[in-house]
Amino acid sequence: MKKKINLQFLIMSVTAIILTLVISTLVSYEVLKDEVMEDLHTYARVLVETGAFSDMDHISYDAKEDGLRVTVIAEDGSVEYDSNANASDMDNHEKRPEIEAAIESGEGSTIRRSSTLERSMFYYAVRLDNGNVLRVAKESDNVLSIMSSTFPLLLGLAVVLFAVGALFSHLLTKSIVAPVEQMANDMDHLESIRVYKELRPFITTIQKQHEDIRKNADMRQEFTANVSHELKTPLTSISGYSELIESGMATDEDVVRFAGEIHQNANRLLTLINDIIRLSELDVSTQEVVYEQLDLYAMAEKCVDMLQVNAENHDVTLQLSGKSAYVNANREMMNELLYNLCDNAIRYNKKGGRVDVSVEETDTEVVLSVKDTGIGISKEHQERIFERFYRVDRSRSKLTGGTGLGLAIVKHIVAQHHANLELESEKDAGTQIRVRFLK
């Protein structure tokens, strides 16, 4: 970026130098032209007043001494006298622009190439009292010749200006890029870096992204540690029980009991691995999610029917209320959402408790509600309940077989469907989770 900015400044400097030199040359030429014309006007008036060309037979003025060319033209355009050429050999000058203007208005001037001398000339003509026209001329260099004569000076000036421009360009580029380089080298202390106000929104965005990246990195690190811990526990149990059986130290009754423990921990391990895989798929899924119009009430009804046996085993009453309501959603994700919410409500309930599932529809949204009369969640835990592997009561989670990933999966699915998730809970009084789907 620094090289690009520096190059752009140098291009601007070169362009400015060239334009300045060209404009200066043109302005100088205009000033020169005005001065020469003013000089010719003065010479002509002096010659008229002194009567140097009143008598063509006795001309006393030598125009060459002043570097001039003097020509006298008769009324019919014929040349009577020319200080630089033979008058008899010259063409009729009646149609020369300065002669026409002098005959009509008394004076005329022009800059053109002389057909007689083949040179660029300044001309000034004035009409005499006898009707003749006195013309005074001076050779003029054109713009290119002026530039060529001053080229060494202009080139030296351009080099100096370019060097100064390059120096200032480097310093200016360095000062512009300095805050960005500081930010790149010290992302943790962006607030202490003095930058332009135009960069403040950019810095705010960078800070937020940096914090998000660091937060995600911490979450991934914590997730990895939790996964290792969660996998290690059932694997340790399986390894321990199988080792006792393998060594022959266990009795026949112990073998049956150990086999049951191994089976239970293997199932817990499979459930945990499946939840981890599903959560990873939701995190980085590159597959296109297929949405369709689904009857959320009908899906909730199937989920409640499927979990009735599980609810009875936990001595929990599971009921559904509401009416048909359609949402634009992914079928597999909706099944997971319903299952995880209902399963959690059953697992963390009390003996003889209830789980009420309802689906309601308003003009603007469809609301899924799962309410239980379970152990509830205290205020300090409610903000973190949807984090991965976060458990309010780890001992109870171990007894119920919970993985600590169910609500994390729910949160991902809700975010995927741009819905809103609400939690109301009170310790020992139950929990209610609502998912609001916009229509």
- DSSP strand pairing (353-361 vs 316-322): parallel
Sheet holding 365-372, edge to edge: 316-322, 353-361, 365-372, 430-438, 420-426
Residue 229, pLDDT > 50, answer yes
Fold (topology level) of 292-438: Heat Shock Protein 90 (3.30.565)
Residue 14 tokens read as 């070169």
Provide the pLDDT for residue 86: 86
**Count of alpha carbons within 13 Å of 399, Cβ hemisphere only?**
8
Give the residue-averaged pLDDT of 417-435: 91
Percent of the chain with pLDDT over 70: 82
- Residue ranges matching CATH 3.30.450.20 in the chain: 2-147
For 275-297, b/e burial (b = at least 16 CB within 10 A) is bbebbeebeeeeeeeeeeebebb
How far is the C-alpha of 227 from the C-alpha of 237, rounded, in Å? 16
Would you say residue 271 has pLDDT above 80? no
18-22, 110-114, 354-358, 392-396 — which one is most confidently predicted on average? Answer: 354-358
Does the pLDDT at position 218 exceed 80? Answer: no
Nearest CA among 366, 358, 368 for reference residue 326: 366
CATH code of 202-284, in short, is 1.10.287.130
Asked if the model's pLDDT at residue 344 lies above 60, the reply is yes
% of the chain beyond a pLDDT of 90: 23
Residue 306 has pLDDT above 90, yes or no: yes
Residues of the chain with CATH 3.30.565.10: 292-438
Sheet holding 79-82, edge to edge: 79-82, 69-73, 133-139, 120-127, 107-113
Cα–Cα distance for residue pair 45/103, rounded to 1 Å: 16
pLDDT at 215 over 80: no
359 has a pLDDT exceeding 90: yes
Supply the mean pLDDT for the chain: 81
Return the higher-pLDDT residue of 142 and 217.
Answer: 217
For 185-201, what is each residue's pLDDT tens digit? 666 665 666 666 766 77
Residue-wise pLDDT for 274-298, tens only, equals 767 766 766 665 567 789 999 999 9
* 248, pLDDT greater than 70: yes
115 vs 427, higher pLDDT: 427
**Per-residue confidence (pLDDT) for residue 396, from 0 to 100:** 46
CATH code of the domain made up of 2-147? 3.30.450.20
Q: Pinpoint the residues of the chain covered by CATH 1.10.287.130.
A: 202-284
Across 8-17, 22-31, 112-121, 360-369, least confident range? 112-121
pLDDT at 391 over 70: no
**Residue 355 banded pLDDT, cuts 50, 70, 90:** very high
Whole-angstrom Cα distance, residue 339 to residue 406?
Answer: 9
- pTM for the model stands at 0.48
Q: Looking at the predicted structure, is the pLDDT value of residue 246 above 50?
A: yes
CA distance 201 to 190: 12
- Over residues 243-255, the mean pLDDT reads 81
Say what the pLDDT of residue 224 is: 72
Q: How many other CB atoms are found less than 10 A from the CB of residue 71? A: 26
pLDDT tens column, 120-155 = 788 999 998 888 899 999 876 554 565 567 778 777
Instruction: Summarize the confidence of residues 246-266 as an average pLDDT.
Output: 82
pLDDT tens sequence across 16-53 = 888 887 887 788 778 878 888 888 898 888 888 887 77
Average pLDDT value for residue range 156-162: 82
